[in-house]
Amino acid sequence: MAISRGLLCCQRVLAWIPVLIITLVVLWSYYAYVVELCVFTIQNGLEKAAYLVIFHLFFVLFVWTYCKAIFTEPAQPSRKFQLSRADRERYERGESPEVQKQILLDAANRLPVYTRTASGAIRYCDRCHLIKPDRCHHCSICETCVLKMDHHCPWVNNCIGFSNYKFFLLFLGYSMLYSLFVAATVLQYFIMFWTGGLPDGPAKFHVLFLLFVAVMFFLSLMFLLNYHCWLVSLNRSTLEAFSAPVFQHGPDKNGFNLGVWKNLQQVFGSQKKYWLLPVFTSVGDGQSFPMKSQSESHNPLLSNDEQWGEGDSDVDYYAATSGNTSVTVEMER
């Protein structure tokens, strides 16, 4: 027991190494840009002031969104998705798979659950002892079920899901802009140092490597951000891109696709003024989602469709709406 506890503690400490690496790189880039470039290298006062103001704007937004992605806890299902003690005891001592299946079916009859396993059974987590809400998955690293789980990202040491997906996207966007601005403003001084236009000194080393690091990060982040923008436009998670969600009528990769505009609102909210700020504005509670598929209105899991609301001609709202190089995906068991 003591050994396993020690291993778990070491695992948790080691999981912070990628975050520490990013933090050290960012701190070095701050010193290299502000001190070595702006203070010691740039002679034009107006240019120096403009660079410092814009740099710090991007830097603050980048650090703010990064911290939000790291420290926002993944949202978990509410207690209503947990089996009652009596149902759990019946399930654990179930005489046959058919009995267990019926127990889950009876419990799910009271919940807004529409997705199934590949075999058509109710999605149940035997670790958290709960019926999984739609788009919810169990993360073996965080050891919990995460609402609308996208992936577990080692670079933020956190699960990306319903509660922090917007923060993760903004972090990618602002870090890309941060890298682009640094690369664009350092380029002319990189050329001057390289061609001998400026005297050798400590600043030369920092400026040369600053450009290489900024370009490398920009290219990596650009591909990753483009991928996630594509996912948002289709209202898919990374997990759903690998394995389409299964509904009553079968797998459907576009089951949650409401159209580009409504898909954007699902993540960023309806008020555009908050879209670029790292404040939570995503639509819903993360436990039930509007679906495009008309055939889901005949889901036998719900004996009374009206209790979850009627849909319009385009989209049925069955419930009320209230990590590549840097992604590690935890697939559903």
Degrees, nearest 5: CA angle 225-229-232: 140
Closest by CA position to 288, among listed 148, 165, 151: 148
Helix axes 165-194, 260-268, angle to 10 degrees: 90
> Do residues 69 and 159 make contact, with C-beta atoms less than 8 angstroms apart?
no
pLDDT at 252 (0 to 100): 93
pLDDT at 293 (0 to 100): 58
> Do residues 82 and 152 make contact, with C-beta atoms less than 8 angstroms apart?
no
Q: Predicted confidence band at 99 (pLDDT cuts at 50, 70, 90)?
A: confident
pLDDT in tens, 236-282: 999 999 999 999 889 999 999 999 999 999 999 999 999 999 999 99
Q: Identify whether 142 is a catalytic site residue.
A: no
- For the whole model, what pTM was predicted? 0.85
Half-sphere exposure of residue 284: CA atoms within 13 angstroms, side-chain side: 27
Q: State mean pLDDT over 204-221.
A: 94
The burial of 98, by beta-carbon neighbours within 10 Å (0-12 exposed, 13-18 middle, 19 or more buried), is given as exposed
Closest by CA position to 72, among listed 210, 167, 196: 167
Closest by CA position to 319, among listed 329, 333, 327, 307: 307
Of the residues 125, 153, 159, 229, which is catalytic?
153
Distance CA 151, CA 148 (A): 9
Average pLDDT, the chain: 86
pLDDT in tens, 220-242: 999 999 999 999 999 999 999 99
